[in-house]
Amino acid sequence: MSGNQTDKNAMILKNQKEVPVLLEKMKKQLELVLPAHMSADRMSRIALTEFRKTPKLAECDPLSICASVIMSAQLGLEIGVLGQGYLVPYFNKKAGKYECQFIPGYRGFIDLARRSGQIISISAQIVYENDDFDYELGLNDKLVHKPVQHNPGKMVAAYAIAKLAGGGHQFLVMFKERIDQVRDKAQAQSGPWVSDYEAMAMKTVVRRLFKWLPCSIEMQTAAIIDERSEAGVLDMKEVVTENDDSVAKFFEGTAEQIDTTTGEVKSQADDLASRL
């Protein structure tokens, strides 16, 4: 086994021990940012489940995983379980290492839109080649989609439509070629674009529809994070600490407690044991 592979394996083993400790340690921080209907215990538990389900996450900077979980908590979106959001490993070429980034999912965008109170309903659909589909833009815009029952054929487009609380509607259609261009810009080598392509296609068109809708701060934040995450130009730790001093202090304190030689997370118990 080469020296590089040995170092990589050692890093993975270190992270596999370190991440569960950090997720447990950050529960108090999660309680500060989570909405009332969500539990810090549950958020930490499902984050750990996703970490263990995705081997590449074990190669990511552990603090970037914590930052991604905090970002999902700030938006009130659960990771993985219902497709509200994902933890996705990206390779940061500048830093020369993998980092985790939080990407809102299709259901996450839908949930944020409904929570805003300005949108009665919002949904997205996939159009297949054998469907009866037609749309028209202009003063009398229209959209007609009659899915076939059997043998739909290949996917050709996706669209999103929103009904506004003040009356009226907005819709947006994107053909597969354009959706694939968005996918190809994503820097992730794995994740929902591979495992849940159609859900990501619907999310992409919903996100672009947001530009034409009355948006809440959470909707705007999710859209910006999603665009920058997929382009691989987002430092999740920087985003979550930018306007929250308590989160910044948590990361500063946690970073100080990580042994740079062994990668182990120090705790008060460790300090006590060392003095005895």
Residue 125 resides in a domain: yes
**73 contacts 247 by C-beta, under 8 angstroms:** no
Residue 229 resides in a domain: no
Q: How confident is the model at residue 129 (pLDDT cuts 50, 70, 90)?
A: very high
Buried b or exposed e, range 82-91, using 16+ CB within 10 angstroms? ebbbbbbbbb
Instruction: Tell me the pLDDT tens digit for each residue of 156-173.
Output: 999 999 999 888 899 999
Residue 228 resides in a domain: no
Q: Which residue has the higher pLDDT, 194 or 70?
A: 70
pLDDT reported for residue 233? 62
Beta strands in the chain (DSSP E): 85-92, 97-104, 119-128, 132-136, 142-146, 155-164, 169-175
Q: What is the mean pLDDT of residues 25-31?
A: 88
Instruction: Tell me the pLDDT tens digit for each residue of 75-120.
Output: 999 997 677 899 988 888 887 888 898 989 888 999 999 888 889 9
Is the per-residue pLDDT at 260 higher than 50? no
273 vs 276: CA distance, rounded Å: 5
pLDDT reported for residue 142? 93
144 Cα distance to chain centroid:
31
Do 100 and 40 reside in the same domain of the chain? Answer: yes
Do 98 and 112 reside in the same domain of the chain? Answer: no
Count of C-beta atoms within a 10 Å radius of residue 146 = 8
Do 270 and 199 reside in the same domain of the chain? Answer: no
Which residue range forms the structural domain that includes residue 123? 107-223
Q: Which two tokens stand for residue 258?
A: 């990580």
Average pLDDT along the chain: 84
Q: What is the pTM of this model?
A: 0.77
Residue 40 resides in a domain: yes
Do 38 and 121 reside in the same domain of the chain? Answer: no
Do 100 and 140 reside in the same domain of the chain? Answer: no
Instruction: Tell me the pLDDT tens digit for each residue of 190-236.
Output: 678 888 899 889 999 999 998 888 888 888 888 888 887 766 666 77
Do 12 and 119 reside in the same domain of the chain? Answer: no
Domain count, the chain: 2
Phi, psi of 12 (to 5 degrees): -65, -45
**Run of H or E residues at 272:** helix 268-275
Do 85 and 117 reside in the same domain of the chain? Answer: no
Do 114 and 85 reside in the same domain of the chain? Answer: no
